[in-house]
Amino acid sequence: MPEEESTRDRVRALVREVLNNALPEEESEGASQIASPSTSNAPPAKATNAPPPPSPPRPVAKATAASAADEQPIARDESAKTVITEADVRGLERGARLRVAEGARLTPLAADIVREQGIELVRRAPRRGSRESKSIGVGSDHGGYPLKEELKTYLAELGHRVRDFGTNSTDAVDYPDFAHAVARAVADGECDLGIVIDGAGVGSAMTANKVPGVRAAACYSVKVAVNSREHNDANVLTLGSGTITSAEMREIVSAWLSTEITEERHRKRVAKIGAVERQYLA
C-alpha cells in the first residue's frame, strides 16, 4: 500500500503545480488554499498600500429638468394667432403647455388665467420670411369694404406696406374689377402678395386666377390658409366678409403671411400648375 500512497501524493503535487502555473497569482493562492485544508485557518494576507480599484462610474441622468419639461406634450397650439385671448387659454389644466407665436400678445384676462393656472407658454419662432416687410396689394367690393379697412390697419401693425386698389366706400361696385387690379399688380411684380375681400371670397378668387402667374386661394380657416401657402404657394388670398369675423380675418391673414412653401415636392406640383396654365396662353 505504500506505493499507492506515494502515487497519490505525486498526483496531488502535480495537480497543485498545474493550477499554480495556469491561474493568475491571486487566483492560484485561493486555489491552493482550497486544495490544502491545512491552510484554511491561516491568517488573512496583510493589506498592502496599493489603492483600491476605481469604482464603476455612476450613471448620469440623460434628461435635465429643462429637457424633461420639453418632452411634455403641448396641450394646445395657438401659434397661428398674434393675440391670445381668454378663450384661447380657458379650459386648460393647471400647468399645461400652450404653444404661441414668438411675438404673440396676451389680453389682460388671458394673462391673468395663465398666471393663476401656471400655464407654460412655449413660443414658436416664426417661419422663414414671416418677419420680412412685404408690399401687399389689397382690394374689395362694397360688401368687403369695412373689413378691408380693418385689414389695412392690421397689415400696417405687422410692418407691411399696403397698396389699396379700392373700393373706397360701401357704394355698390363689381368685385371682378378690384380682384383683377390686385391680381395684375402681383403678376407684374408691383406687389409681393395680394388680399381681396368680397362677400364669400369665391368670385374674387375666380377672377384673380384668370391672370397668368396668379395662384389665388379662397381661405375660410387658418388651416386652409397655411395649406394654400405651404403646398400651393398661393400669392393672392381672398376672403369672404360674410363668412368670417374680424378676429378670424386677423388669424387667417397672420397664418397666411407667416407661412412659405419650403419642400421640393410641393414646388414640383406648383410648377405643374404653371405648365397647365401655359398650355392655354395664346
Q: What is the pLDDT of residues 253-269, one digit of tens each?
A: 999 999 999 899 999 99
pLDDT digits (tens, 9 = 90+) for 193-222: 999 999 999 999 999 999 999 999 999 999
pLDDT band, very low/low/confident/very high, at 65 (cuts 50, 70, 90): very low
Residues paired with 272 in a beta bridge: none
DSSP 26-46: HHHHHHHHHH-GGGTTSPPPP
Residue 74: other Cβ atoms inside 10 A: 14
Mean pLDDT of the region 166-174: 97
Mean pLDDT of the region 128-147: 86
Mean pLDDT of the region 104-129: 80
Tell me if residue 142 is catalytic. no
Residue-averaged pLDDT of the chain:
81
Mean pLDDT of the region 60-65: 37
Cell 506515494 belongs to residue: 6
- How far apart, in whole angstroms, are the C-alpha atoms of residue 47 and residue 51? 10
Residue 58 has pLDDT above 70, yes or no: no
CB contact set of 52 (below 8 Å; sequence gap of 6+): none
Residue type, 186: V
Domains with residue ranges and CATH for the chain: 73-124 (no CATH), 135-266 (3.40.1400.10)
Using an 8 Å Cβ cutoff, are 111 and 98 in contact?
Answer: no
Using an 8 Å Cβ cutoff, are 237 and 196 in contact?
Answer: yes
Residue 216: other Cβ atoms inside 10 A: 28
pLDDT band, very low/low/confident/very high, at 6 (cuts 50, 70, 90): low
Q: What is the CA radius of gyration of the chain?
A: 39
Residue 205: other Cβ atoms inside 10 A: 25
Identify which has the larger pLDDT, 1 or 128.
1
**CA nearest neighbour of 28 among 38, 18, 37:** 18
Structure-derived torsion over alpha carbons of residues 77, 132, 190, 282, reported in degrees to the nearest 10: -60
- How far apart, in whole angstroms, are the C-alpha atoms of residue 273 and residue 137? 23
Structure-derived torsion over alpha carbons of residues 276, 278, 281, 282, reported in degrees to the nearest 10: -130
Q: What percent of the chain has pLDDT over 90?
A: 57
pTM of the predicted model, to two decimals?
A: 0.57
Mean pLDDT of the region 149-169: 96
pLDDT digits (tens, 9 = 90+) for 18-32: 556 554 444 444 444
Mean pLDDT of the region 92-98: 91
Q: Please, what sign has the CA dihedral across residues 69, 75, 80, 84?
A: negative
Which residue is catalytic, options 142, 180, 231, 266?
A: 231
Helix or strand (DSSP H, E) at 100: strand 97-101
- How far apart, in whole angstroms, are the C-alpha atoms of residue 17 and residue 26? 15
pLDDT of residue 184: 97
Three-state DSSP class for 135? strand
